[in-house]
Structure 1
Amino acid sequence: MAEPNDVLRLEGLRKSYNIGQPNEVEVLHGIDLCLDRADFAALVGPSGSGKSTLLNLIGLLDSPTDGELYLRGTPTRDMDDEGRTALRGRHIGFVFQFHHLIGAFTALENVLMPWMVAHGRPTPEILEAARGLLADVGLEKFTERRPDQLSGGQQQRVAIARALVTNPSLLLADEPTGNLDTRTAADVFELLRRFNAQFGCAVLVVTHDPRLSGSCDRTITLVDGEVVSDERNQARAAAVPPGA
């Protein structure tokens, strides 16, 4: 059972593919994990360890084979697609290595997109909030620029603002700095850090970069579909990742 302060709780989470067929395979083997609003955690592990599968389950993009996933105390395993989509839209923001901005839209319109998908035409209040988020990421003068008029780092900043426009409880960042130069990557990491504190939004960063994971408060290591360690890091990442 999820605790009141939990943003995310996984209990015995399993995921299999090709169920009932000769090539059936279980990718995740009973994952137990909890995140609260203060958490700024890294998920690491070798290729093939199940990180992408786990991230898809946490993001409510897929359903587990067994076990339960609680998001803000709500059990999700038996939800239909419509229910998962609605819950995801209310409580989860996504930032990816490649920003996936819509080229025909301005920065402001891209930021507004998750809210518009959930609610329709933007209100004056959400327009103000979106402009405020762009100001928070240092792009208040770029609201009307399209993605091809922005640098890679600026595009990723737009993506972060977009992820936060619905005021999510959980931000999932999949290799968020993997396509950026070292200095820009450090800036993006600091933005995620600041918003974790400012919005009380739990952050889970999937990364192969040991500098990035070591700069998070907590490192969760996944190997062969199992959590083999979940450790609090000695040096909290008030500083930028080493080497930045």
Structure 2
Amino acid sequence: MSSSPEVLRLEQLKKSYNIGQPNEIEVLHGIDFTIQRHDFAALIGPSGSGKSTLLNILGLLDQPTSGEIYLLGQPTSQMDDQERTRLRGQSIGFVFQFHHLIQAFSVLENVLMPLMLVHGRPNQQAIERAHYLLEAVGLKDFAKRKASQLSGGQQQRVAIARGLITQPALLLADEPTGNLDSQTASEVFELFREVNAQHECAVLLVTHDPRLSATCDRTINLVDGRIESDTLTTKALD
């Protein structure tokens, strides 16, 4: 893992759809910003502002039309799919609004899945970390249950543990607490804070909830495909 404080850097990032056609549309118009290891940031903006498009590009799930995205100092625009997949698996954790668990697998297997895809059979250290994360999200007694036996909120908590299992340099979370009750949401938020502080994992939360964004250290506001503001909270400036 790179020792640089910079995790992610975007330079003049643009994204268009239907390129070369009469209905071509540009949805991201030259995005520039940097995410550092200590950052605990919220990405906000109205529906249709381009948040989901930007999130997919940040996670190397989609490619920009032009511009460059650097992940841990590595330019990614010229990487092939295999290189991008490898870098994404090593460096980025995802928590999506929809949990995408494998229903026939156990809770423990779902949490371990990102490691199993890369390394095969997990070692004891990985299994112990998975149990630690399940305890942190309040599911320590659910490890052997099938994902299909859990409620929606419980499945979301499993997805959060899965997103953290690789000890990523960057955690991308799309409305991560949207399906959780307020108590669990608060506990999950504190887990993100712990990971950010103790493991130098940069956190970027995409949220519509102004209460959630207000508790982050930094708020990036995307409007009509452009960064309208990028501000630190008073707490972060102290």
Into which bin does the TM-score normalised by the smaller protein fall?
over 0.9
Aligned counterparts, 1:54-203, within 5 A: 54-203=54-203
Contact 1:13 1:69 in 2 (8 A): yes
TM-score using structure 1 length:
0.91
Please give the alpha-carbon distance, in whole angstroms, between the structure 1 residues aligned to 2:136 and 2:190: 12
Q: Distance in 2 between matches of 1:93 and 1:112?
A: 12
Q: Deviations over 1:155-182 (max 9, x none)?
A: 2222121111111100000011112222
Q: Which moved more, 1:68-77 or 1:153-162?
A: 153-162
Partners of 1:197 and 1:146 lie apart in 2 by: 32
2:138, 2:45 → 1: CA distance?
Answer: 33
Q: What secondary structure is seen at the aligned counterpart in 1 of 2:161?
A: helix
**How many residue pairs align between the two structures?**
235
Which residue type is aligned with residue 232 of structure 1? L
Distance in 1 (alpha carbons) for counterparts of 2:128 and 2:177: 28
What is the match of residue 50 of structure 2?
A: 50
Deviations 1:112-169 (Å, cap 9, x if unpaired)? 1011111212223322222232233333222112224334443222212111111110
SS of 2:4's partner is coil
Q: CA deviation at 1:23?
A: 1.2
Contact 2:63 2:77 in 1 (8 A): yes
Q: Could you tell me the TM-score, scaled by structure 2's length?
A: 0.93
What amino acid is the match of 1:169? A
CA distance, structure 2, for counterparts of residue 36 and residue 157 of structure 1: 26
Change beyond 3 A, Cα 1:125–1:181: closer
CA contact (8 A) 1:11 1:33 kept: yes
Please give the alpha-carbon distance, in whole angstroms, between the structure 1 residues aligned to 2:228 and 2:163.
30
SS of equivalent to 1:11: strand
Q: Which runs of 5+ in 1 are unaligned?
A: 237-244
CA deviation profile, 1:177-215 (whole Å, cap 9, x unmatched)? 112222222222222122211221100000011001111
Determine if contact 2:156/2:179 at 8 Å carries over to the other structure.
no
Deviation larger for 147-156 or 17-26: 147-156
Amino acid at match of 2:56: N
Aligned AA for 2:52? S
Deviation of the 1:32 alpha carbon: 0.5
Percent of aligned pairs with the same amino acid: 68
SS of equivalent to 1:4: coil
The residue that corresponds to 2:204 in the other structure is 204
CA shift at 1:235, angstroms?
A: 4.0
User: Whole-Å Cα distance in 1 between the matches of residues 181 and 5 of structure 2?
Assistant: 36
Look up the SS of the partner of 2:141 in the other structure.
coil
Q: Distance in 1 between matches of 2:51 and 2:215?
A: 19
Partner SS for 1:64:
coil
Flag as ranges the 4+ runs of structure 1 deviating above 6 A.
none
Match of 1:25 in 2: 25
Question: Take 1:179 and 1:130, find their aligned partners in 2: how far apart are those partners?
Answer: 22
Post-superposition Cα deviations, 1:31-89, rounded to whole Å, max 9, x if no partner, equal 01111111110000011111011001000001111111000001001111111111100
Letter of the 1:187 counterpart: E
Distance 1:128 1:215 in 2: 30
- Alpha-carbon distance in 2 for matches of 1:57, 1:23: 22
**Structural RMSD (CA):** 1.7
C-alpha distance in 2, partners of 1:133/1:189? 13
